[in-house]
Amino acid sequence: MQDFVFDNKTKIIFGKDKEHVVGEESVVYGKKLLLHYGGGSIKESGLYDKVVDSLKEQGVDVHELGGVMPNPRVSLVREGVNLCKENNIDFILAVGGGSVIDSAKAIAAGAKYDGDVWDFFTGKAAVEDCLPLGVVLTIPAAGSESSAGTVVTNEDGWYKRAFGHIKLRPQFAILNPVLTYTLPAYQTAAGVTDMMAHILERYFTNEKHVELTDRLCEATLRTIINNAHTVIEEPENYDARAEIMWSGTIAHNDLLNTGRIGDWGSHDIEHELSGIYDITHGAGLAIIFPAWMKYVYKHDINLFAQFANRVWDVEIDLNNLEATALAGIEKTEQFFRSIGMPVTLKDAEIGDEHFEEMAKKATENGPRGNFVKLYQDDVYQIYQLAK
């Protein structure tokens, strides 16, 4: 087990109607607030009015920036940075899912930086300070509500890149499962896949003697799997929605990777896919992760057999661990398909015309992944397996 420091400051406020406390939680950080959100769904649902009313009851001066798209764009981030600087914003409130939160985090960093915010994503600058931010979560998926990372797409070249810093963790996150009742089934399923991928990136590690976090990863995966079909078939099942929502947070708040070194190759490979094709991130991961598994499983057949057994109840064949490992990969792929996710690029109507470009872009700063180091040709072969 690796040495580690676990530091997650995000205050989780979980339960029905908790969005009503957003004003009193936000005003602690100042009177000038940027309200950041996506399209019109929060207005149609009435959530927008609840949030604004709560803020105004506390005397908060609200500035707004909507329009966040899935795979959020750096152009809108730059607009938000300028808005914060021009209006001396004290605090950012993100109301939405991972894309809104990631965009808000980038704005929070850029608002305290004299250069271009994209510098953080290319490694030209490091965060020294940022505006505090809070979250009202509407889509359980990305786990960004208590993570230290952000992912943004640059329209110039369609680069989708990430960076992280502990100061980017939100001060608080309000999680009301009721707010997820109206999510379309496809978006719910993509969220399930996204949170599972966050756990799998941590689970497949070369670190030994990490039994506790192995078990925590496996338990969280099984909880998601056990509730996924219920939330799709019974969208207003509060208990199932609550299990999924909390699992999504746990999947990415860094508890599950304490003492271990995660992989993250699949995320980097998928970022090229959604950067060019604008595919939903969870759907892209449903395609890439099984292909990655098929490419690397021989690196540690024992771990893949353990995964098959503990997560999917595949009986371990001591005489043929490879068969056990492959059965676990097949179960993973079958599950993604069962909840309506694409599991091949063909399913997503994506061809092979950009394979070489994506493989080159993914590895232009060096190999991807930690479980197995993946170079340009490796990434290309994974795209081939995903066809």
- What pLDDT, on the 0 to 100 scale, is given for residue 167? 96
Cα-atom radius of gyration of the chain, to the nearest Å? 20
Is the pLDDT at 353 greater than 90, yes or no? yes
Distance from C-alpha of 53 to C-alpha of 146, rounded to nearest angstrom: 25
Q: 11-179: which CATH architecture?
A: 3-Layer(aba) Sandwich (3.40)
What distance lies between CA 95 and its chain's CA centroid? 16
Give the pLDDT confidence of 117-149 residue by residue, as tens digits: 999 999 999 999 999 999 999 999 999 999 999
Model confidence band, residue 262 (pLDDT cutoffs 50, 70, 90)? very high
Q: Where in 169-223 does DSSP place strands (E)?
A: 172-175
Read off the pLDDT of each residue in 208-215 and give the average, rounded to a whole number.
Answer: 98
Mean pLDDT of the residues in the chain:
97
Q: Where in the chain is the domain with CATH 1.20.1090.10?
A: 183-385
> Which class is domain 183-385?
mainly alpha
Residues with Cβ within 8 Å of residue 366, at least 6 apart in sequence: none
Give the pLDDT confidence of 45-98 residue by residue, as tens digits: 999 999 999 999 999 999 999 999 999 999 999 999 999 999 999 999 999 999
Q: Which residues pair with 36 in a beta bridge?
A: 65, 94
Are the C-beta atoms of residues 275 and 153 closer than 8 Å to each other?
A: yes
DSSP of 257-307:
GTTS----HHHHHHHHHHHHH---HHHHHHHHHHHHHHHHGGGGHHHHHHH
- What pLDDT, on the 0 to 100 scale, is given for residue 301? 98
Model confidence band, residue 28 (pLDDT cutoffs 50, 70, 90)? very high
- What pLDDT, on the 0 to 100 scale, is given for residue 273? 95
Helix/strand/coil for 92: strand
pTM of the predicted model as reported, rounded to 2 decimal places: 0.95
Read off the pLDDT of each residue in 296-309 and give the average, rounded to a whole number.
Answer: 98
Per the structure block, which two tokens stand in for 220? 């969280």
Is the pLDDT at 40 greater than 90, yes or no? no
- What pLDDT, on the 0 to 100 scale, is given for residue 138? 97
Give the pLDDT confidence of 235-252 residue by residue, as tens digits: 999 999 999 999 999 999
- What pLDDT, on the 0 to 100 scale, is given for residue 316? 96
Which pairing describes strands 133-137 and 61-65: parallel, antiparallel, or unpaired? unpaired
Are the C-beta atoms of residues 134 and 93 closer than 8 Å to each other?
A: yes
